[in-house]
Each structure stands twice: as structure tokens, then as C-alpha cells.
Structure 1
Amino acid sequence: MKYITDINELDLNGTYTYADYLTWRFEQSVELIKGKIFKMSPAPSRKHQKISFNLSGIFYNQLKGKSCRAFAAPFDVRLLDKKKSLKANTEIYTVVQPDICVICDKSKLDERGCIGAPDLIIEILSPGNSKKEMRTKYALYEESGVKEYWVLYPSEHVLQQYILNENEKYELKNNFAEDEVFNSHIFADLQIDLSEIFEEEEL
């Protein structure tokens, strides 16, 4: 197997599969969306990392002893095209790394990450996240059947909660501000105080 050690060796307008992705050994972090390369933002800010850590702690405590598992980035999620994709690496064209995801079907997990749609995906926005990137991921997660999707805005201390309806389309269930408490839609007993997520630490 030939490894690619420099992203400049790739045609950024080309189409690639998960099999190609496994040969990449360059420093630039990328995601693969429908065969196209999306460069990820540089290392997340301290605030971004703090929010991710707080959420991970909440999910660790909430899911302890249960069948569902939470994972934080970097963690590869291979999403399947419902019409085309098989599970062969050469037939998978999408590999993303959500900030946090929750998977309840253990058959979707292997040593390389998750294959198939997680039950819940959480993305924490960074200054480097473009509107195009977020629109692309919104459509991708909806199409892939991710049941619940949260988007967090660290600067505004706001969380948007999207729910997949019976027509397999996302609906914005609510916008929550930093001092509110809310429940997950698919995990009815999961209640989160946003002040715990967005807490600021003194330097």
C-alpha cells in the first residue's frame, strides 16, 4: 500500500473513497464528504475544547452502564449513501469527524470508528467553520438519518437542537441560551444545564 504524506499530492477537485483516505499520512486534518476533500480547521480553541470536555463528562456520567456510547473527535464516522454504498472501503465516500457523537447500535462500531449514522451528533462551531461547510453537514446528517443534531455557538452561548421528523427532514426544535436547561429528544432522561457546558474558567 502506498501512503500519501503530502496533501499536495492529491487532486483537491478529485473524488476519493474511504480506501484512499486510509492511505493518507499528512498532517492536515481532512474530512471526506461524498468523495470530496474538506480541510478541517486548525487545532480548536481553548473554549472549544472546554465545551467538548464538559459535554464528554456529561455523556460519560449519563451513559455509564447503558448500551449507548459517546465519542469525541478525532473519531471517524463513515456515513453510507443509502442508495449506493456497501460497507466495502472502496464504496464509502464520506468520512467525517463530529466533535461528539453518540452511537447506540454496537454493530456500527469497529476499531476504526463508526460505520453508519450515529443517533446524535454535536458540532461546536469554530471561527474557521464556513457557512457552506455547516450547510453541507446539515444536509449530510439529515440525509444519513442522524436522529438528533445539536449545533453549539461558543461565542453566543447558544445551542440549536434539530430533530429528524417522520419525513426524514430536520426540524429546529428550539434555540437554547446559556442559562436554560433542556432535554435531549431521543434520550428522554438526559437533561442538560447549558451553564455547565458554557461555563467560563478564570485564568
Structure 2
Amino acid sequence: MPVPVEWYKWVPDQITAEDYERLPEDFCRSIEVIDGHMVKCESPSRVHNRVAYNLTTAFKAGRKPEPCLMVEGDIDVRFSDVPLSFRRPDVVVYRCIPDHERLYSKDTLLVVEIISPESSFKTDTVEKKAAYADAGIPVYLIAFLNAAQDGVEKIEEYWLSPSGTYQLVQLHTRRLTMANPVPLDIGFAQLTQP
């Protein structure tokens, strides 16, 4: 069914997966949906985008042929269809699935959120951390940009515990070095390079 020119007039307070499929693609890239309620995402800074791109590139370069892993930036990770719930992490590492299939949290191994000092702090450190843990995503990285937004201040590395909550396992302050799910060793200066 084609999208009406004034599509925003028919969008209900609580949307379904079918409603979401009818929304314009460019609008869909600017929202997340939690229990059917749309949440508008702020436009990120250039430094934020650069860090996301460089992390995505580094994770892609570090992948091994087996098991098959994919790395994407800024894509929907679906938690549930009813009620519709998904987030759009800045970087996602997930098990290979066919391109036509929707990405669910069960196939997601690692997510990254990048936090600017003036925005998203509570959302990324509390709300998304709880949602990703509840969805069973094994690894969550939070990259904090410094106040001047000219670089990365620190990266917190969380792993899902047997109790289903995230435990801080490493605080990275100059380099991000990890072995799983993708081997990675990259300096913070490299993360902000154009």
C-alpha cells in the first residue's frame, strides 16, 4: 500500500509492525520504537559519526571467516514484533543472516552506543543498557565522547552475566582491545580520524 503524502496524519500513538512498514524510509531512520511508541533520535555530530564509521570498519576488518559474522552501523535490532520494539545501535555485530531477513536481538552479539556529553547519557547508560541486557545481547560497548567532542574519552565494555544483567568487565581509556566476539585493537586517536 503506498504511503499517503500526509503520512504523519494516520500514524497512531502506538504503532504496529505493519504501521512501521508503511512509514517513509528516511523517517524510519530517525526513530526507534519501544512498546509501540516512537522515540525520535537526535541527529549525531560529525565526530559521533566518524567514531561509529571507524569502529564499524575496524570490526569488519577483524572478523574471522568462521563463525560468519556481519557488522553494520545504524540498523534496526528488533526485540519484539508485538508490541513493536527495536533500537538502532550505532554499531552492531551479528551472526550472518540472509539480507532479506529482519535482524532480531537473538542474532546480535555486540552493540555499540556513542554518547555525546550533551545528549543521550541516560538513554544509553540506563534505558538501552537494560533493554539490550533484557534482549540477551552478550556484549555492550558505550563510547563516551569528551566534552570538547574532539575525541573519545573512554569506552565501557559490558558483558551479559548469567543473571541477565550487564557487568562492567573493562574500562578502556586509550585503546579498545578485545578478543571476542571480534578481535580488535584500535587506538582512540584512530577512532576520530576522517
TM range (shorter): 0.7 to 0.9
User: Is the CA contact (8 Å cut-off) linking 1:78 and 1:92 kept in structure 2?
Assistant: no
| Residue in structure 2 matched with residue 145 of structure 1 by the alignment | 136
| Residue in structure 2 matched with residue 111 of structure 1 by the alignment | 100
Please give the alpha-carbon distance, in whole angstroms, between the structure 2 residues aligned to 1:62 and 1:40.
29
Please give the alpha-carbon distance, in whole angstroms, between the structure 1 residues aligned to 2:9 and 2:115.
27
Gaps of 5+ in 2: 147-151
**1:130 shift after superposition:** 5.0
Superposed CA RMSD in Å reads 2.5
| Residue in structure 2 matched with residue 170 of structure 1 by the alignment | 166
Pick which of 62-71 and 156-165 moved more.
Answer: 62-71
Question: Which of 172, 175, 181 is the equivalent residue of 1:180?
Answer: 175
Given the superposition, is the C-alpha separation of residues 6 and 129 from structure 1 closer, same or farther in structure 2, using an over 3 Å criterion? farther
Q: Percent identity?
A: 21
| Residue in structure 2 matched with residue 191 of structure 1 by the alignment | 184
Gaps of 5+ in 1: 81-88
**1:62 shift after superposition:** 0.9
| Residue in structure 2 matched with residue 83 of structure 1 by the alignment | none
Deviations 1:150-187 (Å, cap 9, x if unpaired)? 0111225210111101111111112211x235214x32
> Match of 1:95, SS?
strand
Structure-1-length-normalised TM-score:
0.77
Structure-2-length-normalised TM-score:
0.80
> Match of 1:111, SS?
coil
Given the superposition, is the C-alpha separation of residues 176 and 47 from structure 1 closer, same or farther in structure 2, using an over 3 Å criterion? same
**1:128 shift after superposition:** 3.6
User: Is the CA contact (8 Å cut-off) linking 2:157 and 2:170 kept in structure 1?
Assistant: yes
The one-letter amino acid paired with 2:175 is: E
How many aligned residue pairs are there?
Answer: 183
